Amino acid sequence: MLICVVGPSGAGKDTLLDAARQALADDRRFRFVRRVITRPAEAGGEAHEAVTEVEFAQRDFALQWQAHGLSYGIPAAAINDAAIAVASVSRTVIADAAARFPVRVIEVTAPPEILAARLASRRRESAADIAERLARTVPLPPDIPVDAVVNDGSLELGVTRFLDALNRAVSDVPR
């Protein structure tokens, strides 16, 4: 099974994924997938596997996409029957993922003013770039259930909500 974590920039996906990875470290059901990205490791953000475009082209991915001038991939080996893979992905690959794997979707979100403040605090983009990023919408496929996690409060509350969503997503999967 693949749990696809989606949401707008600034929603806190990486923060919640990191906290869930720590909280569920002893739960063998879950494998938190490290994405492969054509972004230098020192660029900040999530702990990803940094590769060049040439290296990216030589890899075997279960899912891959382009966004913000970068290539992103979920390694094929990360998704197997032995564990529930949890990965941050683009909404644009959800339909493809659902055609190939059992999929659950968790959408992490927050009100627009919180997203804007979080993005501004990163100091990576101009105000115009932030506004453009927040205006971008990509609908999810209508036939795939989505569990929404509103990450608009404390870190503890966000983590609790995210862990609850993970547990709901796998409630029918044996331990």
Q: DSSP code of 172?
A: T
175: in domain: no
CA distances from 134 to 11, 53, 109, 114 (A): 11, 27, 11, 11
pLDDT band at 46 (very low <50, low <70, confident <90, very high): low
Q: SS3 for 101?
A: coil
Helix (H, G, I), strand (E, B) or coil at 119: helix
State the CATH number of the domain containing residue 35.
3.40.50.300
- pLDDT of 114 higher than 90: no
Confidence class for position 38, pLDDT limits 50, 70, 90:
confident
- Of the given ranges (15-19, 50-54, 78-82, 93-97), which has the lowest mean pLDDT? 78-82
Indicate whether 146 belongs to any domain.
Answer: yes
- Residue 81 inside a domain? The answer is yes
Query: Does residue 12 form part of some domain?
Result: yes
Based on the structure, what is the number of domains in the chain?
A: 1
C-alpha 62/C-alpha 150 separation (Å) is 28
Residues 114-119, mean pLDDT to the nearest whole number = 82
CA distance 2 to 16: 17
DSSP 39: S
Higher pLDDT, 131 or 109: 109
Give CA–CA dist 101/73, Å, rounded. Answer: 16
b/e per residue, 118-151, with b = 16+ CB within 10 A? Answer: bbeeeeeeeeeebeebbeeeeeeeeeeeebebeb
153: domain range? 2-169
Q: Are 37 and 72 in contact (CB under 8 A)?
A: yes
pLDDT of residue 95: 94
Q: Give Cβ neighbours of residue 95 (< 8 Å, ≥ 6 apart).
A: 141, 144
- The pTM (predicted TM-score) of the whole model is 0.87
pLDDT computed for residue 107 by the predictor: 95
Domain assignment present for residue 132? The answer is yes
In a domain, residue 174? The reply is no
Q: Does residue 49 register a pLDDT over 80? A: no
Answer yes or no: is 91 within a domain. Answer: yes
Query: What is the band of 44 on the pLDDT scale with cuts at 50, 70, 90?
Result: low
Rounded average pLDDT over 5-29: 92
Q: How far is it, in rounded angstroms, from Cα 40 to Cα 48?
A: 9
pLDDT-based confidence at 83, cuts 50/70/90? confident
Among candidates 3, 4, 1, which has minimal Cα distance to 90?
4
Short-list 70, 78, 63, 26, CA closest to 46: 70
Task: Report the amino acid identity of residue 135.
Answer: A
- pLDDT, position 172: 62
**What pLDDT sits at residue 133?**
72
pLDDT for 57: 92
Is residue 103 domain-resident?
yes
With cut-offs at 50, 70 and 90, classify the pLDDT of residue 81: low
